[in-house]
Amino acid sequence: MNFATKALHGVSCFDPVTGASSVPIYQASTFHQADLDAPGLYDYARSGNPTRHALEEAIAVLEGGTRGFAFASGMAAISSVFMLFSAGDHIVVAEDVYGGTFRFLTQVLSRMGIEVTFVDTTCTHAVENAIKPGTKGIYLETPSNPTLKVTDLAAVCRIAKKHDLLVMVDNTFMTPYYQKPLELGADVVIHSATKFIGGHSDVIAGLAVTKDEALGKQLYFIQNGMGAILGAQDSWLVMRGLKTLKARLDVSSRSAETIAQWLSQHPAVSRVYYTGLCTHAGHDVQTSQASGHGAVLSFDVGSRERAKAVFDRVKLPIVAVSLGAVETILSYPAAMSHAAMPPEERKKRGITDGLIRLSAGLEDTEDLLQDLAQALDSLHELRIPDDKKTFSRV
Amino acid sequence: MPSQTIEGSGIKMHLETKLVQTGVGKEETTGAINFPVYYATAYRHPGIGESTGFDYTRTGNPTRAVLEEAIAAAESGDSGFACASGMAAIHTTMGLFSQRDHIIVSLDLYGGTYRLFEQVLTRYGLWFTYADLRDTEAVRAAIRPETKAIFVETPTNPLMQITDLREVAQLAKEHGLLTIVDNTFMTPYFQRPLELGADIVLHSGTKYLGGHNDVLAGLIVTKGSELSEKVKFLHNTIGAVLGPQDSWLLLRGLKTLALRMERHQSNAFAVAKQLLGHPAVSEVFYPGLPEHPGHQTHSSQASGFSGMVSFRVRSADQVPVFLQNLKLISFAESLGGVESLCTYPATQTHADIPQEIREYVGVCDRLLRLSVGIEHPDDLAADVTQALDASLVTGGQLR
Ligand SMILES: Cc1ncc(COP(=O)(O)O)c(C=O)c1O
Ligand SMILES: Cc1ncc(COP(=O)(O)O)c(C=O)c1O
């Protein structure tokens, strides 16, 4: 089955009892047990809820894993997956992970005796060099947020296998439609389903999928034990989003590509980050491991002042924290998604004060271009202080 | 039941009033009496560096905020935080501690809390001593240089043991420890630990606060701005937040909390009396009974006894027969809802506590726990009686 068909007809897409075209919302916290000696499939909704279960099965099928898990948010999924580790363990982490992940690792997990080394995972040697006796896992995000650096998943997974390490991949930007890390050798895939999978800026959710059953059992224990589960109503909303994932991404990604190309010709823009541009350093690896480039791009207008002017002048995009929605969203990483990261760490990662992230929605591409044009054209009054005009050579 | 008056927008209001009025007047655009469910995850920023007060729903959601304010006010705390489940609330709170920190915990305790502590958090170098918190001297003896907090359930789940909250909180203060109280069984309607000196109150909102067996939720209430800021950070960072629809369901539950709690309690008295007089029952645990050893302490710190009743039958083979014969009361794992439920702690809620510890504490295989709902008390008493009768006939001869 192709992706679009699988997303609609993979599993659990209708209610087995009534045949209803969508799984009902089981707003129940507990389930009557008919027999003390023969517990039912569901006993308590933290341990299992039929609506949540349908979503968990659906994402497991789409990612090609054995078990899926739905969490209260992407961060809840991430913090739960990290609970697979114990004090004394060491984890190698991609240096430009999502700011919230960075914050969790450096301010919560570090107090629990887990050591983390941040490395540039686009360099496979750097990953291998960071491995030491206590290393237990590698955590990746590719393309990364917000400068879309690409990590070679199969290469890193090969290193991981050699050292018996668990590979976790945050697949939020790609979704299983474009990239299936488990097929490339990863052990756990994580999503902020708040983004493309939900797709409508109307639900906070996280998902995780494990490749094998043993790891699935461990993560299930943690999901139930820590209790950061997704509610029934929210599970239903995420499933609703899944049904249109392919159609939405097709449109948004096409738009993103057109916008990226257009921006890279615009004099007010000093740099564009989009893996679909053949000038992007990660273009080839991306093309070899994913079937698309996604709907997120970033561009640098040179300074905070100029970025502010763009934000003030655009009319269509929502200026907000988040991405992956039907609406085009502009955000300002330095003060939003990566505010939790110290300025010097930000600078190292290319998250400058002039950087703007755009998540393309479903609006007409021409309308978006026109809106961006009127905002950017007005910038010539504001000089670019940094006039190095290089395109995506990171 | 007497309710203390608490401050609200300049007017003194009883807690019942405050609970019913939750969210009223908060929606200024349309005047909707019930606060709307805000599904939005992202909020349009007027410009860079400007915000409406809401940026991203994990960090703050308007519907969730109304709930968080309401529970903070009801518990006389400073800040409230709504989580995906009671366990998520407990786990988030434990994020306050670091490797090598030591925590003293109620010996009798909800099994899921024990499991989280022993099977997850010990892996991060936190360590726990389970002490009989009824005995303040035992608590004092358990304090170590590394001790950071005392974690209290009172009444405990499922044995209804009572801890003197004022005494324990006082002891904690003397040693610079945090007092954390799981107030799930009592709710702020009957007991407000922060007023007695505790620092943090936790709830499984799945239980009485939600009240309808239809939503999973957890709540944290903190006292003081420093602690509130720390928990706010953890809430957003760990991300185990409650969704807007579930927040709204909980708000809806809060409005009838007072009514429900009164009925749960009067029904619990009726059922406890029925159990006491039945030959199939050897012991009844309900803090409302004057002969309950914690009755006096409990009465001094809470204004009621809630609706949870545990009891022991005379022999373990009565248990399956009793459960099979219940007609009205569902055999299910939860509590605090309008429908009466019966739980068998040994295999359900407390299955993750090793058998020898369970037995030592008293959660034996003859123990059953009733969450008494708001049905007619005579119907409940009749159902319990006929199931107990049946357990004597087929479960094991009269002994
Ligand atoms: C790549 C990535 N991972 C994880 C998260 C966290 O997800 P959530 O906001 O749903 O907790 C985000 C966004 O916030 C993200 O962009
Ligand atoms: C006293 C107590 N605390 C905490 C919990 C955990 O709450 P939840 O099931 O909502 O995660 C429960 C019940 O399950 C409980 O009875």
Q: Specify the CATH number for the domain of residue A115.
A: 3.40.640.10
B348 to chain A, any CB pair closer than 8 A? The answer is: yes
| CB < 8 Å to A72, chain B | 83-84, 88, 239-243
Give Cβ neighbours of residue B357 (< 8 Å, ≥ 6 apart). Answer: none
d(CA B130, CA B117): 11
- Pair (A33, A104) in one structural domain: yes
d(CA B152, CA B165): 8
pLDDT tens for each residue of B147-157: 999 999 999 99
d(CA A147, CA A252): 18
- Pair (A191, A85) in one structural domain: yes
Q: Which of B219, B63, B242, B233 is nearest to A73 (CA)?
A: B242
Q: Which of B119, B190, B126 is nearest to B336 (CA)?
A: B190
Domain count, chain A: 2
Say whether B85 and A228 touch across the interface (CB within 8 A).
Answer: yes
- Pair (A201, A337) in one structural domain: no
For Cα atoms B8, B12, B13, give the angle at the middle one, nearest 5 degrees: 80
Last residue of a domain, one of A243, A276, A304: A243
CA A97 / ligand 2 centre spacing (Å):
33
| CB < 8 Å to A29, chain B | 206, 210, 213-216, 334, 337
What values do phi and psi take at B189, rounded to 5? -65, -35
The shortest C-alpha distance from B293 to chain A (Å) reads 31
- Pair (A307, A373) in one structural domain: yes
- Pair (A350, A215) in one structural domain: no
Transcribe B273-315 into DSSP letters: HHHHT-TTEEEEE-TTSTTSTTHHHHHHH-S---SEEEEEESS
Which domains, and CATH codes, for chain B? 5-255 (3.40.640.10), 259-398 (3.90.1150.10)
Say whether B85 and A227 touch across the interface (CB within 8 A).
Answer: yes
CATH number at residue A371: 3.90.1150.10
d(CA B26, CA B13): 17
| A164 domain residue, yes or no | yes
Residue of A98, A139, A178, A274 marked active site? A98
Transcribe B233-249 into DSSP letters: HHHHHH--BPPHHHHHH
The structure tokens listed for B38 are 């805000």
Is residue B92 within 8 A of residue B221, CB to CB? The reply is no
Residue with tokens 């087929």: B394
Q: Which residues pair with residue B147 across a beta bridge?
A: B102
Residue A76 CA: which ligand 1 atom is closest?
Answer: 11
A11 to chain B, any CB pair closer than 8 A? The answer is: no
- Residue A46 among the catalytic residues: yes
- Pair (A301, A154) in one structural domain: no
CA B316 / ligand 2 centre spacing (Å):
25
The ipTM is 0.89
Say whether A204 and B41 touch across the interface (CB within 8 A).
Answer: yes
| A288 domain residue, yes or no | yes
Per-residue pLDDT of chain A (394 residues; tens, 9 = 90+): 888 888 887 666 677 778 788 889 999 998 988 887 888 889 899 999 999 999 999 999 999 999 999 999 999 999 999 999 999 999 999 998 998 999 999 999 999 999 999 999 999 999 999 999 999 999 999 999 899 999 999 999 999 999 999 999 999 999 999 999 999 999 999 999 999 999 999 999 999 999 999 999 999 999 999 999 999 999 999 999 999 999 999 999 999 999 999 999 999 999 999 999 999 999 999 999 999 999 999 999 999 999 999 999 999 998 888 899 999 999 999 888 788 778 888 888 889 999 999 999 999 999 999 999 999 998 877 665 554 443 333 2
- Pair (A12, A146) in one structural domain: yes
pLDDT tens for each residue of A296-355: 999 999 999 999 999 999 999 988 888 999 999 999 998 887 887 788 888 888 899 999
Last residue of a domain, one of A208, A243, A278: A243
User: Nearest by CB to A87, which of B84, B88, B123?
Assistant: B123
Give Cβ neighbours of residue A154 (< 8 Å, ≥ 6 apart). Answer: A184, A185, A289
- Pair (A35, A93) in one structural domain: yes
Residue with tokens 């809430």: B235
Q: Which of A377, A382, A329 is nearest to A356 (CA)?
A: A329
| A43 domain residue, yes or no | yes
d(CA B162, CA B181): 12
Q: Which of B395, B353, B377 is nearest to B270 (CA)?
A: B377
d(CA B95, CA B233): 10
- Pair (A320, A178) in one structural domain: no
| A108 domain residue, yes or no | yes
A45 to chain B, any CB pair closer than 8 A? The answer is: yes
User: Nearest by CB to B39, which of A49, A87, A203?
Assistant: A203
pLDDT tens for each residue of B306-355: 999 999 999 999 999 999 999 999 998 889 999 999 999 998 888 888 99
d(CA A181, CA A190): 10
Last residue of a domain, one of A220, A243, A266: A243
d(CA A10, CA A5): 7
Domain span including residue A160: 3-243
**What are the CA-CA distances from residue B255 to residues A350, B67, B86, B205, B267 (Å)?**
51, 11, 20, 14, 20
- Pair (A194, A271) in one structural domain: no
B188 upstream amide cis, omega within 30 of 0: no
CB neighbours of residue B135 within 10 Å? 13
Q: Which residues of B are catalytic?
A: 58, 110, 182, 207
- Pair (A48, A115) in one structural domain: yes
- Pair (A212, A118) in one structural domain: yes
